[in-house]
Copies of this chain bind each other. A is one copy, B any other.
């Protein structure tokens, strides 16, 4: 733990001094101590558990700062952003791999890996810069939640195709349940939770009762989310949003402690999966670079077009915010690998794409948001 946390913070400091986002340093710390460079650490279950908990709390805190009504208002555009951000990368990835002469199954999985969005990375950048209330940031959050549901469907579809049987009715049902869950919680969750929590709080006698209640809501919604088929972090985000209007600021402080402690494990964990030894063959490296370029361009175009109505600057921001594939892209590739559908070199390419999009997003995002704080009246939608 010392090593992961210490190295992550050391590199974060180094990057801040070079005027680069610290988050990039923390991911690179994972690459550095991971199997590909120093070999001090390999991903293990304990680190993964800390990382999962870290990103859950990160999304929970982001949720606390967002109003559900604001997200629902932009839901239509967000849906467009998410859908285009799924279609463009999928077909681009699929097409490139087919053109490269790889088999159909691998091409499909690469497309699916390029669909994923790691909202955790963008959320971390936006939170640390205090930009969560910006219209583009909201759009990213709303679209990322929908993207998660869509990405899940793509993955389910791809896995069924690889297994040779595709049950459209079942997929449609899963999609409906997942979207329904998100919508219901976003729409009525806040009121219900607010009611229950403030009532329960008035009656409770345990110390830090608010925090305990918030944690129960967080765990319950994360658990439910996984149950209906969306990621636990979407549940965590919804829990934060449901609590955002009722909760004591103290809960936010306490949750922040957990986030500060655990997020470095999430970031370093992403880096740790990259294994640069696969790229000694120049053809693999070439494919990796082409896929990386495609992954960047695809989200910029897809998500950017979806956010047409917000003007070109916000289109750029939304595209960049949806760019990092992070842990989500890696999970897709992992599933493909463990199903025996994709070859190790294709897996390595997918991980490379996931890590590099994640490393590139923060500095670009910072550039894209430059000047926003200078003119808050024009571009920032105030809460409340």
10 interchain pairs, CB-CB under 8 A? A2-B216, A5-B219, A6-B216, A6-B219, A9-B212, A9-B216, A13-B206, A49-B50, A254-B257, A258-B258
Say which residue of B16, B205, B215 sits within 8 Å of A5 (CB atoms). Answer: B215
- Residues from chain B with Cβ under 8 Å of A45 in the complex: 45-46
In the assembled complex, how far is the CB of residue A148 from the closest CB belonging to chain B, in whole angstroms? 20
- Residues from chain B with Cβ under 8 Å of A261 in the complex: 211, 215, 254, 258
Most buried by B among A9, A219, A261: A261
A255 interfacial contact with B, CB 8 Å: yes
- Copies per complex of this chain: 2
Interface string of A240-273 (1 = CB under 8 A from B): 0000000000000111111011000000000000
- Residues from chain B with Cβ under 8 Å of A211 in the complex: 257, 260-261
A208 interfacial contact with B, CB 8 Å: yes
- Residues from chain B with Cβ under 8 Å of A2 in the complex: 216, 219-220, 222-223
Check A204–B13 contact: CB distance below 8 A. yes
In the assembled complex, how far is the CB of residue A95 from the closest CB belonging to chain B, in whole angstroms? 41
In the assembled complex, how far is the CB of residue A222 from the closest CB belonging to chain B, in whole angstroms? 8
A119 interfacial contact with B, CB 8 Å: no
A110 interfacial contact with B, CB 8 Å: no
